[in-house]
């Protein structure tokens, strides 16, 4: 078996590779379940089918997929321009802090403007956090992978400090939690009997906006050119600093808004931990979705299922929660491996 370079990148494999990666992940998953001594069909059922057999489960799928899709689309835009924002998790946390603080500051204020103000806070918080690596990159050429990633841990510790101190619920028996948001500060539900909230609709809008941006606007074109041929971008008059700023701020804005949606939606207050790693998982979502907003939509749903499947496997089969991370990691691993098929084909048999 050997690899042979293709004359042109295969368009079929651009979308075929993620499907092959999914199949490989499933096979490796079966092997893993077998090694753990659980029934393979039962485990697969628990992992992939059971979570979406109920209305509530379907709603949960949307709840988990919404932040992944919002962030995934925004990261795709940056990744197209080779701007590697790895710190969406931190931007999500700061967005939640900023938007949540607005909710707490307007505690028991009734008014239509409370949620928009919180959303503005979430957007601003996420963008401010992403502006730091953007500034460092443009001004000092500091690697945004490192700076954005390190800022994630600062954000997480800041949240932990805030809910243990300044933002702690005065009537909360010293638990590190904020007050529960009041009703005007909670997202409206879209589907009764589930926790599906307005964020899911926003995520769909983000998919459409991202699609239009990348395929129809000059800005999206500039981002693609910048990623593929920076010298050509400069020749065409596209400013790399502008594109870097836009990429990071877009990622920060969507991550911040997603963070705010988490605390104003399913959680309803600020907690020391508000995200099961959506900001990191969105990176996998972006690549699994081929950096294409519509692809990201499907990839987001698949990764959301892996969260639900992990919980379900924990409950029904007594498997550790780490199984979610294992599945997500395997998927990214196989995806990176199968991506080679876009440019190379596999030739079976001995060399001629």
Partner 1 sequence: MEQSATSSLLRLTGITKAYPGVLANDAVDLSIRAGEIQALLGENGAGKSTLVKVVYGLLQADAGGIRWRGQSVDIESPAHARQLGIAMVFQHFSLFDSLSVLENVALGMGIDADAALAKRIVTVSERYGLPLEPARSVYTLSVGERQRIEIVRCLLQAPKLLIMDEPTSVLTPAEVDTLFATLRRLAGEGVAILYISHKLDEIRALCDSATILRGGRRVAEADPARATAHDLARLMMGDAVQLGDQAADARGEADAGAGVVSAPRSARLGQASPQPLAARGPVRLATRSLDLPADAPDGQALHGIDLSVAAGELVGIAGVAGNGQDELLAALAGERLASLAAQVWLDEVPIGHRGPGERRRSGLCAVPEERLGHGAVPELSLSENALLTAHHRAPVARRGPLFDRRAAQAFAEKIIERFDVRCDGPGSLAASLSGGNLQKFVVGREILQSPGVLVVSQPTWGVDAGAAATIHRALRALAAEGAAVLLISQDLDELMSLCDRIGALCAGRLSAFYATRDVDVRQVGLLMGGAATLEAVA
349 forms part of the interface with partner 1 (CB under 8 A): no
Answer whether 92's CB lies under 8 Å from 199's CB.
no
234 forms part of the interface with partner 1 (CB under 8 A): yes
CB of 324 vs partner 1, minimal distance in Å: 35
Judged by CB under 8 A, the stretch of 135-143, 149-157, 226-234, 281-289 that binds partner 1 is 226-234
239 forms part of the interface with partner 1 (CB under 8 A): yes
DSSP assigned state of 2: E
Judged by CB under 8 A, the stretch of 5-13, 173-181, 184-192, 259-267 that binds partner 1 is 5-13
45 forms part of the interface with partner 1 (CB under 8 A): no
348 forms part of the interface with partner 1 (CB under 8 A): no
- Distance (Å, rounded) from C-alpha 158 to C-alpha 150? 13
* Token pair in block for residue 171: 């009537």
Rounded to 5 degrees, what are φ and ψ at 184? -70, -15
Size of the site for partner 1 (CB under 8 A): 22
Q: What length is written for the chain?
A: 352
Q: Which residues are CB-contacts of 188 (< 8 A; sequence separation ≥ 6)? A: 197, 198
Binding residue for partner 1 (CB under 8 A) from 45, 168, 189, 224?
A: 224
CB of 213 vs partner 1, minimal distance in Å: 9
Answer whether 125's CB lies under 8 Å from 94's CB.
yes
Count other C-beta atoms under 10 Å from residue 217's C-beta.
11
- Distance (Å, rounded) from C-alpha 21 to C-alpha 30? 14
- Distance (Å, rounded) from C-alpha 321 to C-alpha 312? 9
CB of 242 vs partner 1, minimal distance in Å: 11
Q: Under rule CB under 8 A, which residues in 80-109 are in contact with partner 1? A: none
CB of 215 vs partner 1, minimal distance in Å: 9
CB of 236 vs partner 1, minimal distance in Å: 5
CB of 35 vs partner 1, minimal distance in Å: 41
Q: Looking at beta carbons only, is 199 or 295 nearer to partner 1?
A: 295
Q: Which residues are CB-contacts of 153 (< 8 A; sequence separation ≥ 6)? A: 90
218 forms part of the interface with partner 1 (CB under 8 A): yes
The position carrying tokens 């042979």 is 4
Whole-angstrom distance between the N-terminal and C-terminal Cα of the chain? Answer: 11
Q: Looking at beta carbons only, is 138 or 319 nearer to partner 1?
A: 138
232 forms part of the interface with partner 1 (CB under 8 A): yes
Binding residue for partner 1 (CB under 8 A) from 188, 231, 318, 349?
A: 231
Q: Looking at beta carbons only, is 13 or 258 nearer to partner 1?
A: 13
* Token pair in block for residue 184: 């005007």
- Distance (Å, rounded) from C-alpha 195 to C-alpha 270? 17
7 forms part of the interface with partner 1 (CB under 8 A): yes
Sort strands 2-5 and 344-347 into parallel, antiparallel or unpaired.
antiparallel
Q: Looking at beta carbons only, is 229 or 321 nearer to partner 1?
A: 229
- Angle (deg, nearest 10), helices 55-80 and 218-228: 70
Q: Looking at beta carbons only, is 9 or 166 nearer to partner 1?
A: 9
DSSP assigned state of 264: I
Q: Looking at beta carbons only, is 9 or 41 nearer to partner 1?
A: 9
CB of 228 vs partner 1, minimal distance in Å: 5
**Using CB under 8 A as the criterion, which residues of the chain lie in contact with partner 1 when the complex forms?**
7-9, 216-219, 221, 224-225, 228-229, 231-232, 234-239, 351-352
């Amino acid at each position: 078996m050997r690899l042979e370079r293709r004359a042109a990148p295969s368009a079929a494999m651009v979308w075929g590779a993620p499907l092959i990666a999914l199949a490989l992940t499933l096979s490796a998953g079966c092997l893993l379940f077998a090694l753990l001594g659980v029934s393979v069909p039962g485990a697969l059922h628990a992992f992939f089918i059971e979570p979406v057999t109920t209305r509530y489960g379907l709603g949960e799928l949307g709840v988990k997929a919404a932040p992944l899709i919002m962030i995934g689309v925004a990261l795709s835009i940056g990744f197209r321009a080779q701007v590697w924002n790895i710190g969406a998790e931190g931007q999500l946390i700061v967005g939640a802090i900023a938007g949540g603080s607005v909710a707490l500051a307007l505690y028991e204020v009734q008014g239509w403007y409370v949620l928009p103000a919180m959303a503005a806070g979430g957007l601003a918080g996420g963008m401010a956090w992403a502006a730091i690596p953007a500034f460092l990159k443009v001004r000092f050429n500091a690697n945004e992978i490192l700076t954005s990633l390190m800022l994630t841990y600062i954000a997480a510790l800041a949240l932990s400090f805030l809910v243990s101190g300044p933002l702690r619920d005065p009537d909360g028996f010293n638990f590190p939690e904020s007050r529960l948001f009041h009703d005007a500060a909670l997202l409206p539900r879209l589907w009764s009997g589930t926790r599906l909230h307005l964020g899911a609709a926003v995520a769909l809008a983000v998919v459409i906006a991202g699609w239009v941006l990348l395929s129809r606007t000059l800005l999206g074109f500039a981002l693609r050119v910048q990623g593929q041929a920076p010298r050509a971008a400069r020749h065409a008059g596209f400013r790399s600093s502008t594109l870097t700023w836009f990429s990071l701020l877009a990622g920060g804005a969507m991550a911040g808004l997603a963070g705010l949606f988490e605390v104003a939606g399913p959680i309803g207050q600020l907690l020391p931990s508000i995200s099961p790693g959506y900001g990191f998982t969105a990176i996998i979502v972006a690549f699994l979705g081929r950096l294409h907003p519509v692809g990201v939509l499907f990839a987001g749903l698949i990764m959301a299922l892996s969260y639900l499947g992990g919980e379900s496997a924990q409950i029904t089969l007594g498997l550790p929660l780490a199984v979610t991370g294992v599945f997500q990691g395997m998927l990214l691993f196989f995806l990176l491996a199968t991506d080679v098929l876009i440019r190379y084909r596999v030739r079976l048999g001995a060399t001629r």
